[in-house]
Structure 1
Amino acid sequence: MRKILFVCLGNICRSPLAEGLMSEKIANLGVEDQFKIDSCGTADYHIGELPDERTRENALQNGLELKHRARQFDPSDFKRFDHILVMDSVNKMKIIGQATSEEHLQKVQLMRDFEQEISLQGVDVPDPYYGGNEGFQNVYDILDRCTENLLSYHLQAIEN
């Protein structure tokens, strides 16, 4: 089973959307039994809350319903997950700072490392929280592409 964790700052915009997109793609392929998907934030601002209303609204406009409740990253997540995908370099450094082994470090990667276009790999997924609706759609489009590529990556690994 592949265990994937998506991480952003507050776990109300980017990471729950990535979780929702990935879960939907897995369900559409009928391979739910091969994956465990979750998301969290590095900060404790929104623990227990639903995703940001604008994120949920944008997801619904794109045919996706988000029901995740925010939680904060815990160092035990290094043991519970195989792949930890962080939305931006600042939060990646916060996660890396909690690692206690090389094995933990090797699990952490930026989300946009799964962009097909090389010039976009390693770039931060922008935080739409302080922007307008177009920012939420931009993030949706980025995460839709990246989760598709991430899923392909993991399915290939499962086959091999």
Structure 2
Amino acid sequence: MAATGTKSVLFVCLGNICRSPIAEAVFRKMATDGGIVDQWIIDSGATSDWNLGSLPDARGLACLRKHGIDTDHRARQVTKEDFMSFEHILCMDESNLSDLKRKSKSVKDYTAKIELLGSYDPQKQLIIQDPYYGPKVIGQLTQRLVHGVVWAVTSLYHYQLSR
């Protein structure tokens, strides 16, 4: 469980090597730059077990470095404990959302709010497509994630202030 006064967010995608580690790294950078990183538990995970222990995709890492963002994240799968440990679980697409909701049913009285990261997008582009098979898409994805995460950070921050 998160410490009192600590906020928490878990970003989730299918394999935890493209979308969710990028979102985690961007969120962490923004929280660091904003001087509030010590108030947050920030992580990412996968709905599948395909890439456990792997670094994020090299194309995503290159794009993050281009924006001055580093990460040492290793892919992991979402656990039952995550539904009790994190306040917010933000996923990338409807398949992730369905998998998370199915898994959450096995956790009694879970506390996490599970939603699409895209729900924070003012343009209402709810789905963040999986870029794994497209060479140009990861660069575009990073820009989209930056935009989505900015809204998520702002919304979550204001949500926490109002509580």
TM-score (norm 2): 0.90
The gaps in structure 1 that reach 5 residues or longer are none
Question: Distance in 2 between the 1:158 and 1:96 partners?
Answer: 23
State the partner residue of 1:117.
123
Show the counterpart of 2:141.
139
CA RMSD across the alignment: 1.6
Q: Structure 1: which 4+ aligned runs deviate by more than 6 Å? A: none
- SS of the equivalent of 1:117 reads coil
1:1-160 to structure 2, matched below 5 A, reads: 1-100=6-105, 104=110, 107-118=113-124, 120=125, 122=126, 124-132=127-135, 134-160=136-162
Equivalent residue letter for 1:27? T
Matched-pair contact (CA < 8 Å) for 2:86–2:112: no
Cα distance in 1 for residues equivalent to 2:112 and 2:80: 14
Contact 1:47 1:72 in 2 (8 A): yes
The DSSP-based 3-state class of the residue aligned with 1:58 is helix
Question: Per-residue displacement from partner, 1:44-91 (whole Å, max 9, x unpaired)?
Answer: 111111101111111111221121010001111100100000111011
Per the alignment, do residues 108 and 102 of structure 1 end up closer, same or farther by CA in structure 2, a change over 3 Å counting? farther
Q: For the Cα contact (< 8 Å) 2:9–2:86, is it kept in 1?
A: yes
Sequence identity, in percent?
32
Structure 1: distance between partners of 2:161 and 2:111: 25
More helix by share: 1
